[in-house]
Structure 1
Amino acid sequence: MPDYIIFYEWLMFAVRWLHVITAVAWIGSSFYFIALDLGLRQTPSLPPLAHGEEWQVHGGGFYHIQKYLVAPDFLPEHLTWFKWEAYWTWLSGFMLLVLVYYVGADLYLIDRNVLDMPNWAAILLSMGSIVLGFVIYNRLCKSPLGESQTGLMLVLFAVLVAMSWGYTQVFTGRAALLHMGAFTASIMAANVAMIIIPNQRIVVADLKAGRVPDAKYGKIAKQRSLHNNYLTLPVIFFMLSGHYPLAFATQWNWIIASLIFLVGVVIRHYFNTRHARKGNPHWTWPVAIVLFILIAWLSSGPKVPGSAGEAVASRAAEPFLAAEHFAAASLTVQTRCAMCHTAEPAWEGVYEPPKNVILDNDNAIANHARDIAIQAGYAHAMPPGNVSGMTDDERALLVEWFREGSAL
């Protein structure tokens, strides 16, 4: 049987790499243009219709940048559109969501102790919630509430808190926090694709037709761009949260997710205020630190059961339980891995099961067959530094067991 799992792992790696590259490009351009916009100065030498200018130095040269709120009195031959960074960040992120959480729904998306539902229902719920997020957000922005920046942000925060709690009631803790990232990032990408870029195209079309563009389109685009700016830091946290059980595998994970939005907002407020030359709000850092300490304290509360730690085998795990070499593979895992991957690790210095993965019973081991084969069979990443002395024969056994289960 061909080792398709190697191709699949490299496919996920490639998509994840693409996601990181495009996200860096999108976040970088977003941070730059917000800082540029806030730092613009109005000087007597500005040309007609120009709103502000900025002189910058970088890479051995000087840059003179001018901004027009509507458009200049002539259309340049070449316009650089900043959109593909956002589009490909979202597309690659959705591809990862499919490859990890939809394909592996039994293990990573669904927690049958939280809500027992078929895979297709969980996937539809996931996609539906992401779409619903932008619909609610967009309606709020277009409502009279959208005229009040503070009022709008408070209502949006309430929506995000409600979604944080809601996701933890239907998905695994890991999937819940990841979905908060997907939920928020989808709003950001939709802002670019459905509001910011279309509004800019209207302005360009009016200019080409000899009409004076309506300034409202630039105002709306700027509001959505500012929202994206404040949402960026929480999204990055949620994208990384799957590596840290203390964030997602606690009873208070939804409160942790909610507080992360506040931490991100106060940090961005500091930088936005500095860029706008409106002072130095030192208070933001103590507030962010106190909130983060509160998050750390909340993470010490009651833990959610480890991933596949309950004695329940997923449907996808059944072939691995029936495989010829399962008994020997299970013994190997429980001998070499379970001292750490258990509810109360016995290995000195390990206080929580790594990534909240528990491997101290047969069903849990079968549920994690692919990860075990990759981490300890095909690769030698686990155990770390081979501290428990797993032999090459045992690694070969894990690979053989995985192949047997995959063929059933």
Structure 2
Amino acid sequence: MRTPEHQAHDRDAADPGHRHLFHVPPADGGRYPEVAYLAGNSLGLQPRATRGELLADLDAWARLGVEGHLDAARPWLPYHELLTGPAARLVGARPAEVVVMNSLTVDLHLLMVSFYRPAGRRTRIVIEDTAFPSDSYAVRSQARFHGLDPDATVVRLTPRPGEDTLRTADVCDFLAAEGDTVALVLLGGVNYLTGELLDIPAITAAGRAAGAVVGWDLAHAAGNVPLALHDWDVDFAAWCSYKYLNAGPGALAGVFVHERHLGDPHLPRFEGWWSTEAATRFEMTPVSRPPATVEAWQISNPPILAMGPVRTSLEIFDAVGMPVLRERSLRLTGWLEHLLDEVTADRPLTVVTPRDPARRGCQLSVRIAGASAAELAKRLRYEHGVIADAREPDVVRFAPVPLYSTYHDCWRVADALAATVEGATS
């Protein structure tokens, strides 16, 4: 027997979240005025405050011209510093360890310039087999840049036969057995395909014990799960801001470098104007004097109009807090799991995300046997007003984001999935 719709409304009344802070796309007809938006793991919704804040920065440019660097209400010269504190709190870091700059893969490359230093036997890069393609491309290109064969250099860890997700013990066992050949471990904190949350502290400890550098791609983890990068002793990390952080398409990324590496004169880095100390920047000297902070990894002056939406979003996370969001995420994702269990029982559907709430964020990935994920997602959208995310050939991802998703959104997902799959297999 299926859960009745009124229970979703009752849950929303008791646990409303912060949907009022966001624009939700209209449904363009049908039973409901708004879509059920479960694609925040691909692109987050626009905060209502973003437009006004962005227009204020544009107005400063119009009124002040170049003088906005110093005289704007939010002066452009130190603008990036407005993001540092909130970003550091979001990922569990110290302010000197975090900077917002560039895009995710650019940042990963800049970090690998410093932290992927193959030598002797220690040349291999460890990633997960289901890493997002850009990470695969990045590490393979880094191997080629160092004159190495990427097929021999890049190790792709796979789940056990018949399983969809990696076991922490298997990752740690590999590092214990073959760690003396590993120069870099670079895994996704939350796997984009399955939604699995890896045990970041345990794997980091295992990698560092093996003598490897350990970095993390947190594209699907930042703003999704609580992080403590400094305390977990992570060497470096990077994340985008357009998914759970809701800073807009292609938004700027964030970078973390542990403080033990800051100010190390032996670490190679690419440098530019913003890599030198701010106090001496306008002396225009030919030799950089990098600060003993992560800002030494900056190259170009920050794009102000791109930083504004990131700042606005981070203010929301600062106000609400990750502990509160995580608790609501557990409730909301657990509710969706309950509803999907009712739907998958007699249909060719399998939830591939771990059932243990501690091993996942706010995403449940559903595999549909014998059908196209893209075609299913299209039907969900245009027949039922449900926006989800397809990953071919057979996985559809549903992300009930705790900031703005509702229990009723989850109910609509299950209802639409049941009707759509029944229609596809009847």
TM bucket normalised to smaller: under 0.3
RCO comparison, higher one (Cα < 8 Å, 6+): 2
Instruction: Flag the structure with higher helix content.
Output: 1
What is the TM-score when the length of structure 1 is the normalising length? Answer: 0.27
Q: Which has the larger radius of gyration?
A: 1
